[in-house]
Every structure is written in structure tokens, then in C-alpha cells.
Structure 1
Amino acid sequence: MDKCTFKTFLVLSCTIIIFFTLILAYTNNYHRYQYMAPFYNMPKIPENLNSITPIKDSEHFMVSAFIDHRLDGVIRVISIIKRNSLQQLYCVYCNPTKMITEYDCRTVQADVQIHSDHFGFPFHVSDVICKGKHTQNATRVLISTKDSDNSNNNTDYLPIKNRVRTNTFKFNFTICISNVFGNYNNVLQFAQTMEMYKLLGVQHVVIYNTSCGPDLEKLLKHYETEGILEIVSWPIDKFLSPSPGWNFQEFKGDLHYYGQLVTLNECIYRHMYQSRYVLLNDIDEIIMPYKHTNLPSLMKDLQSAHPGVGVFFIENHIFPKTQFEDSGKFKRAEWHNIPGVNIMEHIYREPDRKNVYNPTKMIVNPRKVQQTSVHSTLKDFGGSYHVPFDVCRIVHVRVPLQGHLTKDQLFVDKRVWDFEQELIPNVDQALNFSSLLRP
């Protein structure tokens, strides 16, 4: 074979090999993507960005769903139920099968447990409990008014969370801020509280946001970018007429305090296997250790002394924002144009009132709480402990409850000043990163 013929043969051989290689690759990929196509085209369960899903043919709402490993793996759906319009409800829960596009869905009667602390409001937080075979393996669920629901509309389904139980946690301390509404814009106090909690050992803060002011929105975005803040959209006013207060006779409305009790319960379950402890308090309240430098050392001692306890009550104490400390040392020009309260200026604490209940907030082990109210749990697994006033108490800077008292009748409490060297520059930095700190 001469050189010319050999070259022609070689080129032809290579061309044939390349051609068949391409054909084989195309065929393999064709079959592969034909098989995968149903997966890509399969409707996905939405992440439920609004956190509120109406239950069809009813006046009720679903919020979020969780596996409760403490109760034999039942599905617990945090819901908002209209108390006087409760009909039989059903759970439709779905388990994945070996086929990527198919689910094994079952319908069972739901057990609706309306929480006891409704304060007279028509709508209230409730647990819809789904019991059935293999509920612990389910990945999605919907609540239906029908005993057989073959709907293929996946927007009705909630993803089921907490499917894996773990003893290791992403966070040691998470704060659940029940809700922000009414274009709340108390920027300076919010920044001071966030920075104080970081110094006390908190790694994670969750806020349920209905509406806030433009300045606070900038600060929220900063903390969200920083990674410490998780913002949950909570447009409850798009579905109901929420009450701005806790007393139905005074404030009326459909639902207690913009759904505060819904979000507190939801937050506990959301972080059951993410956080060792959860703090249930408002953004203008600081759970402050007085005999420990931070929250980890406080809880280490409390849990060691009370190993079975899962709920720790912390007394609330009012620091009137109408009373200012005399020297003016923290009346900083840098904060003059920042809207909100400067907690450093308010060191006077109201005394306890005789024969008046002093409300508490809580630090809880979320795995030992089943249902919670604002100031106490409704159902728990481990008992509770009232933390002594001198060990830990809440610094709550707000309008006075005993406005008739003079400054001389109040107690001086400068605990927040112990953190001034770190707190002030950290607040300045947060305000600067939020483009709020101006010359």
C-alpha cells in the first residue's frame, strides 16, 4: 500500500470511528434524557414564600408541616383555624416511590388541636395532626375538606420539614421575633439589641415580617446579608384582619396580635433540629444574664442544675424610655438622625408592682416543647424553671407601665453599660453598612 492510499485509508477509518462514536453518544444521551425528562417536568412543591396557604373550601389556612419524631413520627401541620367553622378535615400525605415521578398518596382523617390560649379571637393557631402508615417517610402534605383528594395541583402541598432527627445543631442560640408590623422603624434600638445579642452568644435571629419602615428595611437587609438574620415573610394582613393587640374586647380583629402565637409555634418547630436553644421574646427585649458573661455560660449552669428542664422562665422588667440618665454620656451626635430609642440612655428600672403578675419570656429547648403561648408553654415534655431575678432578667426599654413614678422611685440598673466598649463601635458599623450612619 503506497503512502497516498494509506493516508486515505487512515482518514476514512478515523471518520468512521468518530461518526459511530457520535451516534453512540447521541443514542445514550437520548435515552438518558428521555428517562430524566419526567423529573425535570414534574411540578415542584413551592417553598411557600408567603408562609400562609388557604385550605380549599374552608376558612382555614396551612402554615408549615413537620414530622414530630416525639409522637411516633406523625405529621404536624401548624395551621390557622376559624374556631366556630371547624368541619372534618383530612390529611393527604405523599411518600416518594421508586419511580421518580410517582408518589404514594394516602388520605386520613385529621385530628385538629386548637390551642387553648385564643383570647376570644375567631381564628387561632392550631395543630392539624396526621396519623397513618409511614407518615415519617412522607415528603409533602396538604389539608383537605374531602376524604379523597386526587388533586394534582402541587401548589396546595406543603413540604414536610424535620424529616431527619439529629443531636447536632447548627446554632446554639436562636431568637424568635414573633412579628414586625405597622411599618415599625425603631432602627437604633433594633441595631443595639442585635449587637448586644451577638455579644451574648446568639448566632441566629428569626423575624416574621409583615411590614416595616424604610430605614429598618435597610438594616434588616444588612443583617440578612451578614448571615445572622433569617427573614420570614408574614403577610397575614393579606388574608385576615389581624388585631394590633392581645385583648379582643379592646382591639377586635380576626387573629391575636398579627398571628404572634402562630409564628412563635412555627419558629420552635422550624428550629427544632437546627438550634440547641430558642429564645422567645420581642425585639425590644434583651434576655440579660447578670451573674454570667453570656448566654452559653448561663445555660450551662442552669441546665447542669436542672437537667430535665426544657423551659426556663425569665422575668420581664420595664426600663421607661421617658427617663434619661443625667450625664448624657451616651447621647451621641452620630446617632442623632437615627430613628428609634437609644437603650444606653435608659438605666432606670421600674419596681415590681404588688399584686400584679410580672410576665415572663422564655428560653426553651425546642425538642421539649409541643405547644407554646407568649409567656408560658401550653404543652411540654420536661417541666419548667423560674430563673431568679438576680441571675437573669429582661431589659425591656419601652413606654412606662408606672408612669406616675419619679426617677427617685426607680432602680438604677447599668448592666447594658458593661458592654459599651464593644457595643457602640459594633452598632456604628452596622448602621454604616446599612447606609444609615451619616456625618
Structure 2
Amino acid sequence: MEHRHITRAVRIIAVALRTEAVAYCCILSCQENNKRVEHSKGKYHISEGDSNIHSNHFDFEYGTVDILCPVPAGCAVPFQVAVTKDVTDLEHQPAFLEVLNQETRSDSFPHNFTVCFSAMFGFTNVLQLVQTMEMLRLLGVTRVVIYKTSCSADTQRILDYYTHIGLVEVIPWSIPRFLKVSDSWLPSLGPGQLHYYGQILALNDFVYRYMYQTKYISMHDVDELILPKQVDR
């Protein structure tokens, strides 16, 4: 849910072909009279989506796009949303997503300090990963979010351990299944359809996913550490 606009809306973060002009149609399942009306029953609320492609696409063919879906007046609480190009043909039912961030939060966050790594691909440096995790814990980080495309078996065991103790949330990052992602930040340095394993998309997903879950966030790589120069106690 997007609470910062005058009109109620649901924000969807997606990937789009930058040269293609698309009229998006939003399909919302809503809670009415304290009951959820499932989309499978054929009861929908429809609105016209407003899209905006991010400027930091680095000249790749595809880019991150925000699709804002206005919430119709008859929809009390939207809890699922789908986006399609043709609302007249629902024979192949579109994939519905859960609407997150239903309630705003300004204090009492579940986490105080969260770090995001994006995106992990072909990662094998177990020692570096453990060192970074333990250093982050010393700095007061209570959650590390990792967008993972691929890693070694030893790395996975480390991720499983930190997930088990509640420090890490691993988000499977399957963008390379659908697009040819670049391993660089410019098309001239790494051919592909999307910038650096979809990193811009992952970072935007992280910001909204943890918008009401943490007070502070930091976004960097596993081989980086951001340290305070001085601390007031």
C-alpha cells in the first residue's frame, strides 16, 4: 500500500521493456464487510495503472518500473493485486500478489538496523561471509536481507545457519530465469538486457519490503563495511 499519496493506491515494482508503451490494468481483490472476496470467485475491482520507468536504467533494454494502481472507492481494503495488459481476457488468470504494508508505522519497529546485500550470484567466499555477518552483529545489525541468485553449497550452509538464528532473510532472486542479466553496470562492459543482475530492482524491493519493519537501513555489498567515525553515548 502506498500511504504517501492523497489518493489510495497500491505500488507494484516490476521490470519493463523501456521501448514498449503499455496501458496497464490493475485487478484488485478486496476485503468487504470484514470479509475477503477471493479473486477466484470472479469478483474484481478494476483500475487503470500509472507506470513510471526509473531513470537509473544505465541504457539497458529493460528497466525497473513503478506501477501505481489506484484503489477504487468500492474497495475497502485491497489484499491482492494483479496487473495485466488486457482485462477483457481473463481466461488465463493473472498471478495475484499479496498487498503488503497495509498499516503505516512510525515507531516500535521490529528491527532497528537492517542491511541489504544485492544481488548474491555464484558466491563462494565463505570466510568473507562469516566475517561480515559477525562484524555486522557487533555493529548492532539485527537483520540482513540477501537477494540470492546462486551460491556454493558451503555458502548455503552458512546462510541456513544465520537464517536459523534469525539474523538473515534470504530472498530468492530469479530474474536471470526470465531475462539475460548483465554482470556489469554498463551494456558495453557486460552484455545483457538488465543492469547488474537486476540490482536496482532488488534495492527498490528491499526499501518497500522493509519500509515499516526497520528504523534504519544500509545497502551495500558483502565485501564492504560502513563504519561510524564517531559514536555519541
User: Which whole-Å CA distance do the structure 2 matches of 1:172 and 1:151 have between them?
Assistant: 45
Q: 8 Å contact 1:107–1:149 — kept in the other structure? A: no
Residue 283 of structure 1 and its aligned partner are, at CA, apart by: 1.1
Q: Give per-residue Cα distances to partners, 1:180-230, cap 9 Å, x unaligned.
A: 01x211111111111111101100000000001121111111101111000
Q: 8 Å contact 1:108–1:147 — kept in the other structure? A: no
From 206, 222, 225, the equivalent of 1:286 is: 225
Q: Give per-residue Cα distances to partners, 1:158-191, cap 9 Å, x unaligned.
A: 110001112220001111111101x211111111
AA in 2 matched with 1:161:
L
User: Which whole-Å CA distance do the structure 1 matches of 2:36 and 2:204 have between them?
Assistant: 34
Q: 8 Å contact 1:95–1:137 — kept in the other structure? A: yes
Q: 8 Å contact 1:92–1:149 — kept in the other structure? A: no
The secondary structure found in structure 1 opposite 2:206 is helix
Higher RCO (CA 8 Å, separation ≥ 6 residues): 2
Structure 2 match to 1:176 = 116
Q: 8 Å contact 1:94–1:138 — kept in the other structure? A: yes
AA in 1 matched with 2:21:
L
Structure 1 match to 2:25 = 90
Structure 1 match to 2:2 = 68
From 171, 179, 185, the equivalent of 2:124 is: 185
The secondary structure found in structure 1 opposite 2:144 is strand
AA in 1 matched with 2:70:
K
Structure 2 match to 1:124 = 63
Residue 242 of structure 1 and its aligned partner are, at CA, apart by: 0.4
The count of aligned residue pairs is: 226
Residue 126 of structure 1 and its aligned partner are, at CA, apart by: 0.8
Structure 2 match to 1:360 = none
User: Which whole-Å CA distance do the structure 1 matches of 2:38 and 2:151 have between them?
Assistant: 43
The secondary structure found in structure 2 opposite 1:254 is coil
User: Which whole-Å CA distance do the structure 1 matches of 2:120 and 2:160 have between them?
Assistant: 14
Residue 149 of structure 1 and its aligned partner are, at CA, apart by: 5.4
AA in 2 matched with 1:188:
L
From 69, 85, 95, the equivalent of 1:145 is: 85
User: Which whole-Å CA distance do the structure 1 matches of 2:91 and 2:98 have between them?
Assistant: 16
Gap change, CA 1:175 and 1:149, over 3 Å in 2: farther
Gap change, CA 1:145 and 1:152, over 3 Å in 2: closer
Identity %: 35
Q: Give per-residue Cα distances to partners, 1:62-102, cap 9 Å, x unaligned.
A: xxxxx011113311000001111232111111212345555
User: Which whole-Å CA distance do the structure 2 matches of 1:102 and 1:160 have between them?
Assistant: 13
From 7, 10, 16, the equivalent of 1:81 is: 16
Q: 8 Å contact 2:32–2:77 — kept in the other structure? A: no
Q: 8 Å contact 2:123–2:155 — kept in the other structure? A: yes
User: Which whole-Å CA distance do the structure 2 matches of 1:126 and 1:286 have between them?
Assistant: 29
Gap change, CA 1:190 and 1:161, over 3 Å in 2: same
AA in 2 matched with 1:174:
T
User: Which structure 1 residue ranges, 4+ long, deviate > 3 Å from structure 2?
Assistant: 98-104, 147-153
Aligned-pair Cα RMSD in Å: 1.9
Structure exhibiting the larger radius of gyration computed from Cα positions: 1
1:203 aligns with 2:142: yes
AA in 2 matched with 1:170:
P
Residue 110 of structure 1 and its aligned partner are, at CA, apart by: 1.0
Equivalent residue runs for 1:312-323 within 5 Å: none
User: Which whole-Å CA distance do the structure 1 matches of 2:38 and 2:214 have between them?
Assistant: 34
AA in 1 matched with 2:15:
I
1:231 aligns with 2:170: yes
The secondary structure found in structure 2 opposite 1:260 is helix
Structure 1 match to 2:99 = 160
Gap change, CA 1:102 and 1:280, over 3 Å in 2: closer
* TM-score, scaled to structure 2: 0.90
Q: Give per-residue Cα distances to partners, 1:420-439, cap 9 Å, x unaligned.
A: xxxxxxxxxxxxxxxxxxxx
Q: 8 Å contact 1:109–1:147 — kept in the other structure? A: no
User: Which whole-Å CA distance do the structure 1 matches of 2:226 and 2:36 have between them?
Assistant: 48
Gap change, CA 1:186 and 1:124, over 3 Å in 2: same
AA in 1 matched with 2:180:
S
More helix by share: 1
User: Which whole-Å CA distance do the structure 2 matches of 1:231 and 1:261 have between them?
Assistant: 17
Q: Give per-residue Cα distances to partners, 1:278-300, cap 9 Å, x unaligned.
A: 111111111111212xxxx59xx
Q: Which runs of 5+ in 1 are unaligned?
A: 1-66, 299-439
User: Which whole-Å CA distance do the structure 2 matches of 1:158 and 1:210 have between them?
Assistant: 21
Q: 8 Å contact 1:74–1:136 — kept in the other structure? A: no
Q: Give per-residue Cα distances to partners, 1:249-306, cap 9 Å, x unaligned.
A: 12110110000000000000000000011111111111111212xxxx59xxxxxxxx
User: Which whole-Å CA distance do the structure 1 matches of 2:204 and 2:85 have between them?
Assistant: 24
